[in-house]
A and B are shown apart, each in its own frame.
Chain A
Amino acid sequence: MITKEATEAAPTPVSAPTATDPRPRRRNRSWDEVPRWQIYLPLSIYLVFTLIPFYWILLFALRPAGSTSLVPWPITFDHFEKVWTERSFGTYFQNSLLVGLATLVMTTVVALAGGYALARFDFKIKQAFMLALLCSQFVPGALLLVPLFEIFAELQMINSLGSVIIAETVFQLPLSMILISNFIKNVPYSLEEAAWVDGCNRMTAFRIVVLPLLRPGLIAVGSFAFVHSWNHFLFALMFLNNQDKQTIPVGLNTLMSADSVDLGALAAGGIIAAVPVVLVFAFIQKWLITGFSAGAVKG
């Protein structure tokens, strides 16, 4: 009982270091004693639905072409070699990685600056700016393709990864900024003020006091930006024409829309597309839950 009181004493999820562990502490409570089968049975059924598609693509990637076996044996890595070199997935992978990381950095930095302003200041156009952020959520990126294309053509950025990086960042920004400003609001202002009294300027105080507490939130926002831009298809399809500039989703689409689809190559390409994001995701998962729960919009 005492330990429970102690863990509950932390006021906000972000400010408590233990909050990175999302596990709720309510063992040994009758409320929690759900019959095990009520957990495992639906979970197993759902897992089958989740995992069969993954297994299917793994099967096609690992078994020799023409095989109809349901186990990938004998195992072959020919499809991977082929898709990586012959189908240029090596190049696509680099491009996608560059786009993903650049989008992550730009989104996080720009949203951090804007989010700080929204959380800590009252300024004239704040309400209008918030409204613009919300409205931008209704703007369909896919429907702005033509004007965006014209803008990037004007800037001579067609066929440069910069165009995709900018477009991805811009459409990630509004939500990221709202989330980050909520994270910052959860950090008591008095902490910062105390640092100023100790002689820090605003920037140093922010870096030393606020930034470390924002870690779960920033990880959530950053990984969101990375995964989105890694996966997004239309901007890259429209703005990048040269094969050596294209990204993985475009490469996959090319494989899929070929006249005779090379299934092994398609499956291997799919695995290559999935591995980085699934890894990132598995790694950041627990931060994602705490990150979102701290950044959740509070009434």
Chain B
Amino acid sequence: MAQAAAVAKPPAPPRRRRASATPRRLPYLLIAPAALLMLGFIAYPVISVFYYSLQNYNPTKPWRNGYAGFDNFVHAFTDDPVFWDTLTFSAKWVFVEVGLQLLFGLALALIVNQTFVGRALGRALVFSPWAVSGVLTSAIWVLLYNSQTGITRYLADMGIGSYGTSWLSDTSTVFPAAIVADLWRGVPFFAILILADLQSVSKDLYEAAEVDGASRFKQFWHITLPHLKDAIILSTLLRAVWEFNNVDLLYTLTGGGPAGETTTLPLYIANTSVDAHNFGYASALTTVAFVILLFCSMVYLRLSKFGSEAK
């Protein structure tokens, strides 16, 4: 691809008056900026991660640097319980988050797709957390969950729960607490995408179904859901990858704690490379994460038969 982009450099031949005779280089010229940016800032870093995964590389321990073969990988799979713990937690996190976001997002989209008074305002309000950043989401929910500043204190005033409850520092409540905080921001994403796709359902289908006396649930099950299928598959996949990779929220909300209880694999990798400077090992873990993501995505697309049914 690098060569193709480089070949495209020389100036385009003199334009003829009728542009319909397409200069052969034009498409290459057009994708060149994107291709160069992606080569330099995605492909090259990825390749360097693959390279470092086979190295001992730690700037603070230079005497050990050098080729390591598959030692890093062997260590991860056989000798590093934290790797397995964080991988398991990542899987749990992604599964629960995406499942709940899809469920609530779908319900919300179906509701605000109806015609009712105040719909525009309702849509704007329920979608608004989508625009809020992970860090700000953390800031808000840290305030809400804190035993001094949070809502628990007022709930305790009303007799619900007890004073001094701090959901984020208790290992038994931190998972649902973090899940709810991320749902707050994540549900609108699904609702927006599904609502967008709902706009293109042919109304004739519903009319026909109605003539046949199909119930609303049956219409949903046989018309709406099949129509949404590809959009749902694609958005759950993108979201799962995003939830797996994104560290903003957990990094700032719990910092992976308490006691490592909410450390995802990417958080562990970030700690390994940024704090512990063990970059060779972090690269090996990154490679593993990348392969797992790619593999799971392929399996998911295959099992869900993405794009198999004509709309």
Contact = CB atoms under 8 A, between A and B. Distances in A.
Are A and B associated in one complex? Answer: yes
Interface of A: 8, 13, 22-24, 26-27, 30-32, 34, 36, 39-40, 42-43, 46-47, 49-54, 56-57, 60, 70, 110-111, 113-114, 116-118, 120-121, 123-126, 128-129, 132, 135-148, 150-151, 166-167, 169-171, 173-175, 177, 193, 196, 199-203, 205, 227, 230-234, 238, 249, 252-253, 255-256, 263, 266-267, 269-270, 273-274, 277-278, 280-282, 285-286, 288-293, 296-299
Contacts of A141: 245
A38 to B, nearest CB: 8
- Enumerate the 3 nearest inter-chain pairs by beta-carbon distance, A residue then B residue, closest first: A231-B133, A292-B196, A147-B45
B177 interface: no
Contacts of B116: 36, 39-40
Given A169-B37, A173-B34, A227-B131, 6 more contacts: A117-B30, A139-B290, A142-B266, A147-B45, A256-B135, A263-B143
A140 B266 contact: yes
Nearest to B231: A296
Contacts of B184: 49-50, 53
B144 A56 contact: yes
A298 B231 CA distance: 9
Contacts of B136: 231, 249, 252, 270, 273-274
B139 interface: yes
A192 to B, nearest CB: 9
A120 B27 CA distance: 9
Contacts of B149: 60, 263
Interface SS of chain B:
helix
Contacts of A173: 34, 37-38
B280 to A, nearest CB: 11
B199 interface: yes
Nearest to B206: A31
A195 B216 CA distance: 47
Contact of B17 (A138, A201, A267): A201
Contact of B139 (A26, A43, A232, A270): A270
Interface in B192-228: 192-193, 195-197, 199-200, 203, 206-207, 210, 216, 219
Interface of B: 1, 4, 15, 17-20, 22, 26-28, 30-31, 33-35, 37-38, 40-46, 48-49, 52, 104, 107-108, 111-116, 120, 122-136, 138-144, 149, 151, 154, 184, 192-193, 195-197, 199-200, 203, 206-207, 210, 216, 219, 230-231, 234, 238, 241, 244-248, 251-252, 266, 269-270, 273-274, 279, 282-283, 286, 289-290, 293-294, 297, 307, 310-311
B12 to A, nearest CB: 11
20 contacts: A8-B203, A31-B207, A56-B140, A60-B149, A123-B27, A132-B38, A140-B245, A147-B49, A151-B45, A170-B41, A174-B38, A177-B34, A201-B15, A231-B131, A232-B248, A233-B248, A263-B143, A270-B140, A274-B132, A289-B199
A121 B135 contact: no
Contacts of B28: 117, 123
Contact of A140 (B143, B199, B216, B244): B244
Given A232-B248, A234-B248, A144 B46 contact: yes
A119 to B, nearest CB: 10
A139 B108 CA distance: 30
A273 to B, nearest CB: 5
Contacts of A147: 44-45, 48-49, 52
A293 B196 contact: yes
Contacts of A128: 1
A227 B128 CA distance: 12
B199 A22 contact: yes
B128 A281 contact: yes
Contacts of B123: 285
Contacts of B196: 288-293, 296
A196 B18 contact: yes
Contact of B126 (A22, A47, A113, A114): A47
Contacts of B270: 142-143, 145
A70 B245 contact: no
A156 B34 CA distance: 22
B41 A117 contact: no
Contacts of B238: 137, 175
* Residue picked from B52, B125, B230, most chain A C-beta under 10 Å: B125
* Residue picked from B30, B154, B230, B269, most chain A C-beta under 10 Å: B30
A61 to B, nearest CB: 10
B127 A57 contact: no
Given A56-B144, A143-B245, A249-B133, A132 B151 contact: no
Contacts of A274: 131-132, 136
Nearest to A193: B20
A194 B33 CA distance: 29
Nearest to B25: A123
A263 B146 CA distance: 11
